[in-house]
Amino acid sequence: MFRRTGTDRRTHSKGDHGKGAHGAGGHGAGAADVALRLVKVSKTYGSDDSAVTALDEVTLSLARGTFTAVMGPSGSGKSTLLQCAAGLDRPDSGIVTVDGAEMTGGTEAELTKFRRNRIGFVFQQYNLLDTLTVAQNTVLPLKLARRRVNRDRVRETLTAVGLGDRLGHRPDQLSGGQRQRVAIARALVTEPSVIFADEPTGALDTRSARDVLRLLQDAVRVHGRTVVMVTHDPVAASYADAVLFLADGRLAGEMRRPTVDAVAERLAHLGDDVMAGA
């Protein structure tokens, strides 16, 4: 069973943007203020000579109501970090806590139920069902969780992402940017504690990417959610409150109030910094 590790606070205060624990340390806030915590999380794929360490004792703590980007070169472990943090993959060792619940000890059925109720996902591939309308795709997580569908809430959510007049459209009638907005609405409608976004702008043009990133900002600033976004794009990362850098499966630094140029410069020298610290 999931074990409670602190106060389980499902309410999200609007206007608390930027407060509390953040980054690799996260010692500035109590358990009730922390949305996501990883303690010495490790993950290795393969065995013996072919073993690859994707995560190497990663410890971090992210506050509620914050927007964090995770960056690093290919093979740095950023996608594995997201998958382990979201309960999509199990770490070999360490502890993952989301919204006060320790996820590393649950059964698959318990993990699935927890994800449906407390976690939202936005992927590069929109993962919409072509046979369903915009509204039907949006409420699908509620249906799967056997939760009541509030039609007014659904309409309000879709209106907030600019699709209030597209409820009856199907995915093939939408642009890529509009499809990703549906994915964001689908993530928001369950009122999750944390939204995990994996390269959400990777398949979008510049304008659509900007719109999607602003919606993710609104999820934090207006709705009080916590967003964790994996990206390779310094422009996308600049929309976050902070950027965590990974290299060789380890945390390699943090940047608050990121700018495009500062993120690009940090990425360019990330390998050098890791070698210097070895």
199: nearest Cα among 100, 78, 88: 78
Per-residue model confidence (pLDDT) at position 13: 39
Does 80 have pLDDT greater than 60?
A: yes
The whole-number average pLDDT for the span 75-91 is 93
Sequence ranges of the domains in the chain: 3-277
Does 1 have pLDDT greater than 50?
A: no
pLDDT band, very low/low/confident/very high, at 31 (cuts 50, 70, 90): low
Per-residue model confidence (pLDDT) at position 8: 44
Structural tokens at position 190: 């369950």
Per-residue model confidence (pLDDT) at position 85: 95
99: nearest Cα among 225, 223, 248: 225
C-beta atoms surrounding 35 within 10 Å: 25
- Please tell me the distance from the alpha carbon of residue 142 to that of residue 150, in angstroms, as a whole number: 10
- What is the overall mean pLDDT for the chain? 86
Structural tokens at position 145: 């969780």
Per-residue model confidence (pLDDT) at position 26: 43
- Please tell me the distance from the alpha carbon of residue 202 to that of residue 209, in angstroms, as a whole number: 8
Q: Residues 181, 161: contact at Cβ < 8 Å?
A: yes
Helix, strand, or coil (residue 49): helix
pLDDT band, very low/low/confident/very high, at 236 (cuts 50, 70, 90): very high
Ramachandran area for residue 48 (φ above 0: left; ψ -120 to 50: alpha; else beta): left
Does 14 have pLDDT greater than 50?
A: no
**Which distant-in-sequence residues (6+ apart) come within 8 Å of 75 by Cβ?**
none
4: nearest Cα among 92, 99, 110: 99
Helix, strand, or coil (residue 56): strand
Q: Residues 179, 215: contact at Cβ < 8 Å?
A: no
The whole-number average pLDDT for the span 87-97 is 94
The whole-number average pLDDT for the span 125-149 is 93
Pairwise pLDDT comparison (201 vs 106), residue with the higher score: 201
Per-residue model confidence (pLDDT) at position 216: 94
Per-residue model confidence (pLDDT) at position 9: 42
Does 157 have pLDDT greater than 80?
A: yes
85: nearest Cα among 67, 66, 109, 101: 101
**pLDDT tens profile 179-218:** 999 999 999 998 899 999 999 998 899 999 999 999 999 9
Per-residue model confidence (pLDDT) at position 108: 86
Domain 3-277 falls in which CATH fold? Rossmann fold (3.40.50)
pLDDT band, very low/low/confident/very high, at 110 (cuts 50, 70, 90): confident
Residue the block writes with tokens 């490790």: 42
Exposure class string for 49-87: b at 16+ Cβ within 10 A, else e: eeeebbbbebebbbbbbbbbbbbbbeebbbbbbbbbbbb
The whole-number average pLDDT for the span 164-177 is 95
Per-residue model confidence (pLDDT) at position 116: 86
Does 93 have pLDDT greater than 50?
A: yes
Pairwise pLDDT comparison (56 vs 274), residue with the higher score: 56
**Which distant-in-sequence residues (6+ apart) come within 8 Å of 88 by Cβ?**
82, 115
